[in-house]
Amino acid sequence: MADAISNFSAPMTSGQTFELSGRPARYTVLFFYPKDNTPGCTTENMAFRDLHEQFQAAGTEIYGISRDSIRSHEGFKAKLGLPFELISDPEEALCQQFGVMKMKQMYGKTVRGIERSTFVIDAQGQLVKEWRGVKVAGHVDEVLEFVAHQA
């Protein structure tokens, strides 16, 4: 795979700005999720939270991304006690770059939203693994297994 990812910057929680270039981590995990404070997204964020130390031990930084505002993200992060930052993408620039906007069925209606997706980028800015159309159950374990077994 190993596709180069264009550098980008985006606002994130804790008053910081995410910059892809120059990330010190061996791997950067970007996980796109539809919306703060919804059941599946809460479960997914808590799963990344609960395995955060193991990701850190594998030289991996985690960032969640949705179209929610920084204010929404700050509340969501505090409520769940997330040890990682959340990136706000209200203009969908990152969603477009990673191709995660899809038409989906929700409660019998067709809506446009984020397809739950996860991307692993190495320290050189190369995309080394992606998961699209993610189901929450077991997914975070699979991502951790991937980064932990890269030598």
Residue 118 CA to residue 132 CA, distance in Å, equals 7
- In the residue annotation, 41 being an active-site residue is answered as yes
Find, among 103, 87, 116, 102, the residue nearest to 12 by Cα: 87
Q: Which of 5, 12, 41, 82 is catalytic?
A: 41
CA dihedral of 26, 31, 37, 41, whole degrees rounded to 10: -110
Classify residue 99 by its DSSP letter.
T
The answer to whether 3 and 127 are in contact (CB under 8 A) is yes
Q: Is 22:53 a contact under the CB 8 Å cutoff?
A: no
Task: Check residue 132 and report its DSSP letter.
Answer: -
**Residues designated catalytic:** 41
